[in-house]
Amino acid sequence: MAFRSKVTFLFLTCLIVLASSAVPKKSGRKPANPPPRAVADPEKDAEITNSCPEDGFFADAEQCDKYYECRNGEIIEKLCPDGMVFNDYNPLEEKCDLPFNLDCSQRPKLQEPIPSLHCVRQNGYFSHEDPKECGKFYYCVDGKFNMITCPDGLVYNDKTGICTWPDEAKKKGCGAADVFQFDCPAVNETFGLTHPRYADPDDCQFFYVCINGNTPRRSGCKLGQAFDDVNKKCEWARKVPECADWYKGQLTDAELDALENPPTPKPKPAGSQPSRRKPQRPKLKEVQIEE
């Protein structure tokens, strides 16, 4: 649904030429932009109110957050809220979005930013001012901020607006070595390709996966479990000698019992398909609640 007045200008020019020679013109593109004179001679905007090709919403050719509404032949110039850009996928929809999934490379201009506390623009996701706060960012709506913290071990990636692994975010000062107090032990290449795992020396519930043997990513076991560094897998904490008391003070023995031995599923009715998959616990729970 690309929609650019320069293209339309060419197209309209063609159309006039073709119309005068009475040759039908076939084109996949709809002539649906504000008229070329709006670009060629902006001071005459007032005169062009009758030249809207069809009703709808159309992107400006140069400015990503500017668009036009055409209604009954009238053109109204509009601006998205600061920080948002016009989504031109569907001319029937008036839609401004955060810029992450929209391509503004062909119309890169934007309105002057209206900053406020922690917000570079009124709307959007913005990195923390302190470059060492790798996992913190601000979400701004109408100039009001909310500080958000990425899940443990992740870094805010301002190119995508989401939390990702430090090695993926590639943010200066926020590499795996800066974020984690953990260095992957040196291993040979063959072993490195198995993405070896190592217990987090400071937290029984967590472990590091060393991608290709050298890039650590922090990962965790579920509640009640600990990473068993001998068998390289998550195990109930009480069965991992060095972590047996890890949940003391956080979970009672009864709570740990319940985690380790959740209610057993009811036997399946005779004749049902044998399945190697374990019955899904959440479903059973739902049934029990309903009873």
The closest residue (CB) to ligand NAG is 188
Spell out, one character per residue from 250 to 289, where the chain touches ligand NAG: x when CB under 6 A holds, - when not.
----------------------------------------
Q: Is 268 helix (H, G, I), strand (E, B) or coil?
A: coil
Cα–Cα distance measured from residue 5 to residue 62, given in angstroms and rounded to the nearest whole number:
9
Task: State the nearest-atom distance from the C-beta of 194 to ligand NAG, in Å.
Answer: 9
Task: State the nearest-atom distance from the C-beta of 199 to ligand NAG, in Å.
Answer: 17
Task: State the nearest-atom distance from the C-beta of 234 to ligand NAG, in Å.
Answer: 22
Residues whose CB falls within 8 Å of the CB of residue 58, separated by 6 or more in sequence, listed in order: 3, 32, 33, 34, 67, 68, 70, 88, 91
Cα–Cα distance measured from residue 177 to residue 181, given in angstroms and rounded to the nearest whole number:
7
Nearer to ligand NAG, 188 or 273 (CB): 188
Give the position of tokens 């443990």. Answer: 152
Q: Which amino acid is at 271?
A: G
**Within 61-90, which residues bind ligand NAG (CB under 6 A)?**
none
Cα–Cα distance measured from residue 16 to residue 177, given in angstroms and rounded to the nearest whole number:
64
Nearer to ligand NAG, 187 or 251 (CB): 187
**Within 174-233, which residues bind ligand NAG (CB under 6 A)?**
187-188, 190-191
Nearer to ligand NAG, 187 or 259 (CB): 187
Nearer to ligand NAG, 101 or 190 (CB): 190
Task: State the nearest-atom distance from the C-beta of 189 to ligand NAG, in Å.
Answer: 8
Categorise residue 153: left if φ over 0, alpha if ψ from -120 to 50, beta otherwise.
Answer: left
Cβ-contact 140, 119 below 8 angstroms: yes
Backbone phi, psi, residue 236, to 5°: -55, 130
User: How many CA atoms within 13 Å lie on the side-chain side of 258?
Assistant: 5
Q: Applying CB under 6 A, what is the total number of residues that bind ligand NAG?
A: 4
Task: State the nearest-atom distance from the C-beta of 273 to ligand NAG, in Å.
Answer: 42
Nearer to ligand NAG, 188 or 275 (CB): 188
Nearer to ligand NAG, 186 or 289 (CB): 186
Binding site for ligand NAG (CB under 6 A): 187-188, 190-191
